[in-house]
Structure formats: structure tokens, C-alpha cells
Structure 1
Amino acid sequence: MRRCGRSAGILLPGMLLASCAVGPDFVAPAAPDVTGYVSERRLPTTASAATPGGNAQGFAPGADLPGHWWTLLRSRQINAFVEEAIRNHPDVQAAQFALRAARENALSQQGSLFPQISATGSVEHDQTSTTQQGAWPGQTSNYTLYNASVSVSYTLDLWGGTRRQVESLQAQADYQAFTLEATYLALTANVVTSAITDASLRDQIAATEDIIKAETDQLTRIQRQFDVGAVTKADVLSQESTLAQAKATLAPLQKQLAQQRNQLMAYLGRLPSQDRGEHVTLAELRLPGRLPVSLPSSLVRQRPDIRQAESTLHKATATVGVGIADLLPQVTLSGSYGATAPERLFTPTTIVWSAASSVTQKLFDGGTLYHTKEADVATFEQDLSLYKSTVITAFQNVADSLRAVQYDAEALKADAVAEKATSDSLAMSIEQFKTGAIPYANVITAQQNYLNARVTRIKAQATRFTDTAALFQSLGGGWWKRNDQTPDSVPRANPGYFSGPDRNSQEAMR
């Protein structure tokens, strides 16, 4: 518990307004004392491959991420996809309204710091019989009673319990603000990754269709050679089998593409039937040559999930203060001012007023308040452990992304070499078969090897782009360089009515 600067036993207004707030003050945990994400002091430039998306990538430690990181891929269609998703996806809209609700709740609780003033007025018209007063029976007397009063009640925030409640709700608003950023980050990364996967599947389908066409032409040639007795029936059957196997790989790829399109439409806030066919190609994408890598000390301020965990810890800290304040005496001041008729409200001889103060201290509650406070302390310790776990996972994500960028570049280089080798081998096998140097089974094997190598290279090519997107996502996505909040997340202006914080209070919470 914090020590008050003055004795709490002297209940003077000035002292009460400057009273302390019990419980621990929140301090954001320090960043991990490390200088990098991986064991090496500096990662070398990645390998390169002679294929689109195969350029080398270097790392720039300490460089900041751009706010619109997806524009580094140099694709107008991806930019359009991301803008549409942000504009239309209901999850983003829900996060905006959740932020507004949290801010409104904080402002609502902030009103408890002010005196509560209420006005009442009543008019009562009565009729009584004069028989009770000895008059003739059946006669009545009519009269009207007026009552108008203003009441003031103020619960002194002597121990700062109300301020801690406001602090807790403001921390909840911070949590919702970073939930909004996490929603943006996940959505933009998913849109980019989905568009790249869509492009990869299209290239895989195109490669498979090219192979099917080539093998269909080859089957025609083999059939002609068989007709003239140059090859055996076994060679024809082998080629038919190879062609059938190639065709069998096409339908699964087409199914994946269709489902991928449905997923992309969902990210864009569209229904599957609203697909207009827009797409990107791997050939049009550009792989960033320099990858900014935030310092580890900055990561804890940039990752939305870490900031969410920090806000939860802040809320738990403030809640401990609320629990401690509930254990202490509560002081309430109240007063009223009124009269029995409207014209008498400002007449000194006819007004009615009262002033009172009360102190409430619960003497016995079976340990309810104490154990509630202890539960809050345990929740704080739990949230602190979860915060540390979130930080560990975040650093792991960055390290995994860096390793993926590094080793997937090596994989693409090897896959590009393998594709070139299998292509040359297939051409050589066909020529050797024409001269009778090798059996046709060798040609079939070379065809299958080339098809597999080409599809593998396309997948590796797409992976390099998705690795870059994953790295930017793991580093926080650059939300601090843009404004993702819309008017839907801003508290509404107070219309007045003599109560509540003004607009400046709302601005301070943004």
C-alpha cells in the first residue's frame, strides 16, 4: 500500500482531494536483455536463384517497418485487396466498436469522481372533508403542495479506489485498442498470404497443364511409332499411364485453388459468389532486397499481442488497488436544498436544507473483502506469467521467420537448379530414345522428375514471398506508423445535462 503524504485521520476537504491511491502503481515490464533474435550476431545475406522472386535478401537490424509493409511487394492488386479487406471485413468493424465500448465504460466510471447532483420536483393536489373540523357535513377543502429540491452526494475517493477502477477500465480500453491492431495485422497478413498462395496454385496448375499437353503430344507420337512397328505396345501403355497420372494431379490443385479463392473472398468481406476473378501472379511480385528487423528492445512495444498482455497486467494491477481500497473506511458527503413552493425556493425564511457526512467501515464480512483482494493479487501474478510467456512466443516467432527467410532462400536455389537439371535430362532422354539408345521407360521417369521439380520450384518461389510477409507480421506490422482507428471507435460527445466529463476528457483517452 502506498503511504499517504498526510494523515488520513484529518478529514479536511483539501487533504481528501489530494489523497493517495492505495495499491501498486503499474510499471511496464522491461524488455528482455538481449541484442538479437538468433544466436548469430548478424545474419548473412540470403542465397539467390535465377528465377522471379529469387533475389538475395539482406537484413537491416534496427530499421523500422513501414506502416503499409505489403506495398513492398510492388503489386497494385495486393494493395487493392488489403484496402478492400480493411474497409469491409466485419471483424475489423467489430473491433472498432469494441474499442468504443471500452472507452465509453472508462468515461462512465470516470463520472464517479465527480459529485452527483440531482434535482427533484413534485406537485400534489389534495382534497379533505371539513367535517373533521366541525364544519357542516359535505363541505370540502382543496389545497396544493409543492416541493422542489436539489441534492448533492459525493463519495470521497479517499483511498483512490474509484481512481483505480477508472485506471482498470482505461487499461481495458488499451487492451481493445491493441486487439484492433492485432485484428488489422492478422487480416492484412492473411490477405497477402492468401493472394500469394492463389498465385502459386495458378502457376502449379499451369505447369501441370503444360506437362499434360506435352505428354499428350508424346502419346500421339508413340502411338504413331507403334502403328509402324517402331515401339512396343508396352511403351504406349506406359505413356498412357504417365499421362493419366499427370491428369490425376490436376483436379486436387483445382480444388485447392477454388477453396483458396473462397478464403480470399472471406478475407475481403465478400461472399464466394461475389468473386470477380482478380488475382496476382508470382512473376509480377517483387521481393524486398532489404528487410528491416526491429531491435529486441522495440519488439515489446510493437507487437500487439505483447501490448494486449501488458494492458491485461495493468488492469490486474489497478484491480489490486480497488480491492485494498474496499477494505478501508468509505466517506460520503451529502446535502440538499429545497422549498415547499417554487416561488419560495430563493426565500431565506422558507427554504429547507440539510448537510450530512457518513463514514462506513465493514467490521466483519467473513473474510469476503480480504480474500477478494488476495484473489486479485493472484490474478496479477497469473497475468504477469502470461505476459512473460507472450514475450517468449513473440521472440520465437521472429526467430522462426528469420530462419525461414534464410533457409527457404537456399531451398529455392536448390529447387531452381533441380528444375533446370530435370528439364535438360528430359530433353536428353527424348533424343536418346529417338536414336534407340535408351528404352522408353527412361523417358517416362524423366518426365515425372521434371513435373515434380517444376511444381516444387513454384512452391518454393511462393514460400519466399510468404516468408517475407510472416517476418513483417512477427515484427508487429508497422501499426505505429498509421492510424487504424475510425470514428466508430471514438466515444460520443456528452450532450450536457450538468454532468459527466467534457470533451477534453474523451480526447485524453484516445
Structure 2
Amino acid sequence: MKARPALRPVRLLPLGLALLLGGCMVGPDYHRPQVAVPTQWKELPGWTQADPSAAAGPKGDWWTAFQDPLLDELEPLVPVANQTVAQSYANYQEALAEVRVARASLFPTVGLTGSATRERSATGTISSVSSVSNSSGARIVNAGTLEANVSWTIDFWGQVRRQIEEQSATAQASEATLANAQLSEQIALANDVIDLRVTDADIDLLTQTVEAYKNSLRVVSNQDTAGTVAPSDLITARTQLENAQASLIALGVARAQYEHAIAVLVGRNPEDMTIPHNGKLPILPTIPAGVPSTILQRRPDIATAERQMASANAAIGVAVSAYYPTISLSALDGFTQAPLAGLLHISNYVWSLGASATETIFDGGERSAEVAAARATYDASVANYRGTVLSAFQSVENDLSGLRILAQQSDALDAAVRDSIRGAQIAQNEYEAGTVDYTTVATAQATQLSTQQSALTVQQSRLLDAAALIGDLGGGWTGVLHDASHPQKVSVDPGGNAGANANTNTNPAVTTP
């Protein structure tokens, strides 16, 4: 007789697939809620209404707008060396694996079982199977099985598909979180570089001031030797110089801290990085007036909040599916024989098919509570999404207003700096002519230094505001400029790639031992 092929119950798979595909998906389908947004910016006319979404546009090398060689060298290192980005990348990979775990539940589980036993029966035991007898009359029996089994819980109500939907949205949120981490760390690096450059410029300013105070002290010392000035003038000039020297020394602490922070952001030990002094400030980027507000849809944090909302919506379907019965199929196919000899003969072939359905009749309100909790979680995610969008608009408006007001303040301080320099020169000349005391000179010089430092601080604030605006717009405006009445639409994934190639060429701006 010809042997019957094994694993015949696998032929039931098409039937199961038909049942699966014909099954429904309980729970609400996801629709992104609307968010009220302004039709244009208050601070910058010409911007159009945005439609925040998980779609993102090309951000490009936005840091090149500052025209700073240190930024050009270090910013590409953040995606590949920064540890915060590396952590977010690992979390993203975990989320992708969870999607595969959820998807695996759609398919049957197939197992193979093999066993063999050797058994001694008592003397006098009657057995219908052949055995080996030993000298004491006891029987030794060998037995074995070789069976394949298939089990499959059919996703008739869409529970598994909702779980896949939930995990997929979570993975997309994790991808956007990765992009947000990368952008945040790059903005932090830009801020530290700006602060470092401003500190170097302040060091240059105080160095020049110290030299000016030394010259003034020499003049006062000569006049004190000649007995033409009061002794208090010499003390005032010396104290003024010593205070300026102390302030110059104190700047070394801030500079070292900025240098160390920059090293950590690019994944290096602080002691391994030395950044040469450079008092040239980065260039303030020009903000075009025709940038559409649709650029906000590139913000990774908005994409994260939107995908978290989609995940919470799918979780409602998972909770609702608990109200419906669980339907499972099982099959067994194989051979069993005792004694072991002839195990694979057709006469030892066995198979079985089975189906089961399980339904919870009473659970004390557990399922209804789970559904209520899932709906509340979704409502919270909706509020978080809308709040994130509103905060994004608030941040951009703050940046724009700050840049506008600081530009006006900078113009006023430029005039004040020119006047203070001229005033200090006049006071010095009048002192040397003997028409004023040294207190007038010291006051004029202190006013000049304070005004120059204020102007430098305002320039620092303008640069930091520009960097903040780039971050709040999701990576600047490069690559999305278009006619203001027809804003360009963008449709690429919001996530980043921590494994992307980066320019790691060395540059004289940074030296490592």
C-alpha cells in the first residue's frame, strides 16, 4: 500500500486565510483630528496655513547658513556619534522588531515533536506487543513517536491587525522621535558653538580693554609722579585695570565648559578636543518672507504626537476585540509505534483535527474598563497632539518677534557703541589736558565696555534666536521655498537615519591629540 503524504491538515490553510480575510476589524478606524491654525504669521506676513502631519520635507545642511567652519565640520558628526541619537536609534529598531512580533501572530505555529522511550514491564505482565525478555522474565519495550502539529488562532475580529496597526504607528512615532533627537542635538551643538564664538569675541574685547586700561594707568602714573593729580586717581586707574583682568580670566571658565559640551555632543571625550580661539561670530541667516507655514509639518515632535495618536486609536480596537470569542484551529499529523521498529509504516500513521472557540461570559467589568482606559488614552493623545501644534506656532512666533525686536535693539546699540567710544576718547583727552578728573575718564571707559558687551550679547541672542527658529521649523527653510501663494508640498518620512553617511573629514578648526 502506498504511504499517505504527511501533514495533510496544512491543506486547511487556504480555508483559514479566507476566514481571516473575510473577518472584520472591530474598533474605530483612524482619522487625524483637525487642528485650528492661523492663516498667516503675525510676525511675518506671507506665510500660509499649515497642515501638520507626519510627512516631512528635506531639511538639508541648514547649519551652512551660519557660515562657520566649526559648525560645518561638527554638525554631520551628530547623527553618527551623538549618544542621545544612538539611544533613540536603538529604540527605533526595537519598535520595528515589535511590529514583526505583532505580525507573526497572523500566521500559524508549526511544531515537530519526536520521542523515544525504553520501558521495563513487570514479570508476568501481559503485553500484546513484541518485546525483549531478559533472564528474569521481565519485558523491555521500545516505543517512539514522530508528529507534526499546527495551531492557529484566527484573527477573525481584527485583534492582531489592530495590534500591528498600533505597533506600526508606535514605530513611526519612534522614527520621528529619532529625527527629533537628531535635530535637537544639532541645534544644541549650534547653540554651544555660537556661545563659544561669543565668548571668544568677549575675550578679544576685554583683551583690548585691558590694553587700553594699561595705557591709561601709565598716563596716570606719570602724572602722579609729577604730582599733578590726586593719589586717588592712581588707585582708581589700577582698580579699573585689575577688575578688567579678573573679568578676562573668568571668561576662561565659560569657554572651557562650552568646549567640553561641544565634545560630548559629537561623541568625544572632553579632554580629546581642543578648539582654537576664534572671535569671528557666525553670520546671521537671512529669513525669507515667502516661507510657507506648511513647513511646520516637518517638525519631528508633531509627527511623533500624530503617530502616538494613531497608535492609541488602534489600541481601542485591541481592547474592543476582547468582547468577541477567540477561534483557534489545531491539527496533528505523524506516526506512533511501540515497539519502535516500523515506526514510519502506514499502519502507524495518525492524525487529528480540532477547533475551539473561547468566550468570556463574565469578567466583572474588566473589558469595559480596558476599553474606557484605551479611549481615555486616545483622548489624551489628541490633546497632546493639538497642544504640540499650538506650542509649535507659539515657539515660531516667539522666535520671529525676538529676531525683529533684537534687530531694532542692535541698531540702537550700534549707535550707542560709536558714541561711547567717542565719549571715552574725549574724556581721556580732557583728562590729559587737566580739565577733568580721572573719575570722568573711568566712567566713560566703563560705559564704553558695558555698551560694547551689551551689543555683543544682543548679537548672541539674535544668533541663538535664529538657531531656535531653525529648530522650531523642523530644520530650517532650505529646500521648501516656493511661491507664497502656492506653498510646496513635501512627502518624505519624518524620521532620521542614525546610520547615514556623514562627512568626517578633519578640519584645522578642531585638533585631537
Instruction: Flag whether TM exceeds 0.5 (same fold).
Output: yes
The answer as to 2:281 corresponding to 1:288 is no
Quote the offset at 1:332 in angstroms.
0.9
**How is 1:401-420 mapped onto 2 (pairs within 5 angstroms)?**
401-420=399-418
**How is 1:219-298 mapped onto 2 (pairs within 5 angstroms)?**
219-278=217-276, 280-283=278-281, 285-291=282-288, 294-298=291-295
**Code of the aligned partner of 2:311:** K
Residue equivalent to 1:101? 94
* Rounded Cα–Cα distance in structure 2 between residues aligned with 1:402 and 1:446: 35
Residue equivalent to 1:3? none
Residues 116-153 of structure 1 deviation map (CA, whole Å, 9 limit, x = unaligned): 11111111122334433499971233332110111111
* Rounded Cα–Cα distance in structure 2 between residues aligned with 1:291 and 1:248: 43
Residue equivalent to 1:500? none
Residue equivalent to 2:71? 78
Quote the offset at 1:407 in angstroms.
1.4
Query: Could you tell me the TM-score, scaled by structure 2's length?
Result: 0.83
Which of 171, 184, 187 is the aligned partner of 1:186? 184
* Rounded Cα–Cα distance in structure 2 between residues aligned with 1:84 and 1:220: 50
Question: Secondary structure of the residue that 2:28 maps to in structure 1?
Answer: coil
Quote the offset at 1:241 in angstroms.
2.5
**Code of the aligned partner of 2:435:** A
The answer as to 2:157 corresponding to 1:159 is yes
Quote the offset at 1:314 in angstroms.
1.0
Aligned-pair identity in percent equals 26
* Rounded Cα–Cα distance in structure 2 between residues aligned with 1:255 and 1:317: 51
The answer as to 2:328 corresponding to 1:314 is no
Residue equivalent to 2:489? none
Quote the offset at 1:328 in angstroms.
1.0
Question: Secondary structure of the residue that 1:41 maps to in structure 2?
Answer: coil
Residue equivalent to 1:55? none
Which of 181, 199, 214 is the aligned partner of 2:212? 214
Q: Is the 8 A contact 1:178 1:308 kept in 2?
A: yes
Quote the offset at 1:294 in angstroms.
4.9
* Rounded Cα–Cα distance in structure 2 between residues aligned with 1:468 and 1:345: 79
Quote the offset at 1:383 in angstroms.
1.3
Residues 408-466 of structure 1 deviation map (CA, whole Å, 9 limit, x = unaligned): 11122222211111001111111122222322221111100111111112222222222
Structure-2 change in CA distance of 1:221 and 1:133 (3 Å): same
**How is 1:4-153 mapped onto 2 (pairs within 5 angstroms)?**
14-38=18-42, 41-42=45-46, 66-133=59-126, 138-153=136-151
* Rounded Cα–Cα distance in structure 1 between residues aligned with 2:417 and 2:194: 21
Residue equivalent to 1:8? none
Structure-2 change in CA distance of 1:361 and 1:136 (3 Å): closer
Quote the offset at 1:326 in angstroms.
0.6
Structure-2 change in CA distance of 1:383 and 1:414 (3 Å): same
Structure-2 change in CA distance of 1:147 and 1:359 (3 Å): same
**Code of the aligned partner of 2:320:** I
Instruction: Give aligned pairs, total.
Output: 457
Residue equivalent to 2:503? none
Unaligned runs of 5+ in 2: 1-14, 48-56, 128-132, 479-491, 501-513
Quote the offset at 1:245 in angstroms.
2.7
Question: Secondary structure of the residue that 2:136 maps to in structure 1?
Answer: coil
Structure-2 change in CA distance of 1:360 and 1:138 (3 Å): same
Which of 201, 204, 211 is the aligned partner of 2:202? 204
Residues 254-297 of structure 1 deviation map (CA, whole Å, 9 limit, x = unaligned): 222222222222212222222222465434x3333344775334
Q: Is the 8 A contact 2:179 2:494 kept in 1?
A: no
Question: Secondary structure of the residue that 1:132 maps to in structure 2?
Answer: coil
Q: Is the 8 A contact 1:124 1:146 kept in 2?
A: yes
Residue equivalent to 1:441? 439
Residues 173-227 of structure 1 deviation map (CA, whole Å, 9 limit, x = unaligned): 1121011111101110011110010010111112112111211121111111111
* Rounded Cα–Cα distance in structure 1 between residues aligned with 2:110 and 2:70: 58
* Rounded Cα–Cα distance in structure 2 between residues aligned with 1:394 and 1:345: 72
Quote the offset at 1:471 in angstroms.
0.8
Q: Is the 8 A contact 1:165 1:319 kept in 2?
A: yes
Q: Is the 8 A contact 2:80 2:499 kept in 1?
A: no
Residues 76-111 of structure 1 deviation map (CA, whole Å, 9 limit, x = unaligned): 221212123332221111111111111001101110
Q: Is the 8 A contact 1:331 1:357 kept in 2?
A: yes
**Code of the aligned partner of 1:220:** R
Residues 157-183 of structure 1 deviation map (CA, whole Å, 9 limit, x = unaligned): 111011111111111111210111111
Aligned-pair Cα RMSD in Å: 2.7
Structure-2 change in CA distance of 1:40 and 1:199 (3 Å): closer
Larger mean CA deviation between 122-131 and 357-366 belongs to 122-131
Residues 309-346 of structure 1 deviation map (CA, whole Å, 9 limit, x = unaligned): 11211111011000100111111111111111599787
Residue equivalent to 1:353? 351
Quote the offset at 1:251 in angstroms.
3.4
Structure-2 change in CA distance of 1:17 and 1:312 (3 Å): same
* Rounded Cα–Cα distance in structure 1 between residues aligned with 2:134 and 2:244: 117
Residue equivalent to 1:327? 323
Unaligned runs of 5+ in 1: 1-10, 44-63, 489-510
Q: Is the 8 A contact 2:80 2:498 kept in 1?
A: no
**Code of the aligned partner of 1:422:** S
Question: Secondary structure of the residue that 2:105 maps to in structure 1?
Answer: helix
* Rounded Cα–Cα distance in structure 1 between residues aligned with 2:384 and 2:414: 44
Query: Could you tell me the TM-score, scaled by structure 1's length?
Result: 0.83
**Code of the aligned partner of 1:484:** G
Quote the offset at 1:30 in angstroms.
3.2
Structure-2 change in CA distance of 1:270 and 1:75 (3 Å): same
Q: Is the 8 A contact 1:195 1:264 kept in 2?
A: yes
Q: Is the 8 A contact 1:26 1:317 kept in 2?
A: yes
Residue equivalent to 2:372? 374
Larger mean CA deviation between 132-141 and 97-106 belongs to 132-141
Question: Secondary structure of the residue that 1:340 maps to in structure 2?
Answer: strand
**Code of the aligned partner of 2:303:** R
Q: Is the 8 A contact 1:194 1:264 kept in 2?
A: yes
Q: Is the 8 A contact 2:86 2:498 kept in 1?
A: no
**Code of the aligned partner of 1:193:** N
Structure-2 change in CA distance of 1:141 and 1:481 (3 Å): closer
* Rounded Cα–Cα distance in structure 2 between residues aligned with 1:212 and 1:450: 13
Quote the offset at 1:394 in angstroms.
0.9
**Code of the aligned partner of 2:496:** D
Question: Secondary structure of the residue that 1:454 maps to in structure 2?
Answer: helix
* Rounded Cα–Cα distance in structure 2 between residues aligned with 1:482 and 1:330: 37
Quote the offset at 1:13 in angstroms.
6.1
* Rounded Cα–Cα distance in structure 2 between residues aligned with 1:407 and 1:312: 37
Larger mean CA deviation between 392-401 and 348-357 belongs to 348-357
Residues 384-427 of structure 1 deviation map (CA, whole Å, 9 limit, x = unaligned): 11111111111111111111221111122222211111001111
Larger mean CA deviation between 104-113 and 80-89 belongs to 80-89
* Rounded Cα–Cα distance in structure 1 between residues aligned with 2:44 and 2:260: 41
